[in-house]
Amino acid sequence: MNPVLRRLRGVFSTLALVAVAAACGWLGVSVVRSLVAQPMQQTGDYSAIVREAGHPVVLFATTTCPYCRQARALLDAMKVEHVVYDVDVSDAARALYGRLHANSVPVLVTARLRITGFDEAAYRSLLTRGGADAASGRP
């Protein structure tokens, strides 16, 4: 084989490999960003779930999720009256969680607000004295 053609073949192979690696890197970053999406707040009427749970604050979590552990710890530290439903170990928890049509954890629910994901500032804002009415469902 001609040495020039061999060299061109090597260059094109290298360029193709670099292009594939760049595409994989871009795709990987996109996937990671979608997996660690920012917490989302959604207003609505969640009073039936809160009433069924018997607590003003409901946390849907899993036993293995690090963000769920942070959410639990924050609620405990703030001494917020709450209940935790572990959707990975309880059929009843999964059924109640299913009514939210959520697809990730943690999900914090009050009578009027749902926070999907863990955001300490949003939790504190909702659950401090200024947000107590929102958490309890009072007008």
Residues linked to residue 83 through DSSP beta bridges, in sequence order: 58
Interacting residues of 13 by C-beta distance below 8 A, sequence separation 6+: none
Are the C-beta atoms of residues 50 and 123 closer than 8 Å to each other? Answer: no
Predicted confidence (pLDDT) at residue 118 exceeds the cutoff of 70: yes
Predicted confidence (pLDDT) at residue 32 exceeds the cutoff of 70: no
Per residue in 78-92, pLDDT (tens digit) is 999 999 999 999 999
Q: Would you state the pLDDT for residue 22?
A: 66
Predicted confidence (pLDDT) at residue 31 exceeds the cutoff of 80: no
Rounded Cα gap, residues 111 and 60, in angstroms: 14
For 123, the 3-state DSSP assignment is helix
The DSSP code for 55 is S
Which CATH number does 40-136 carry?
A: 3.40.30.10
Peptide bond before residue 106 is cis, with ω within 30 degrees of 0: yes
Q: DSSP secondary structure string, 24-38? A: HHHHHHHHHHHHTPP
Q: What is the pTM of this model?
A: 0.68
All structural domains of the chain with their residue ranges:
1-36, 40-136
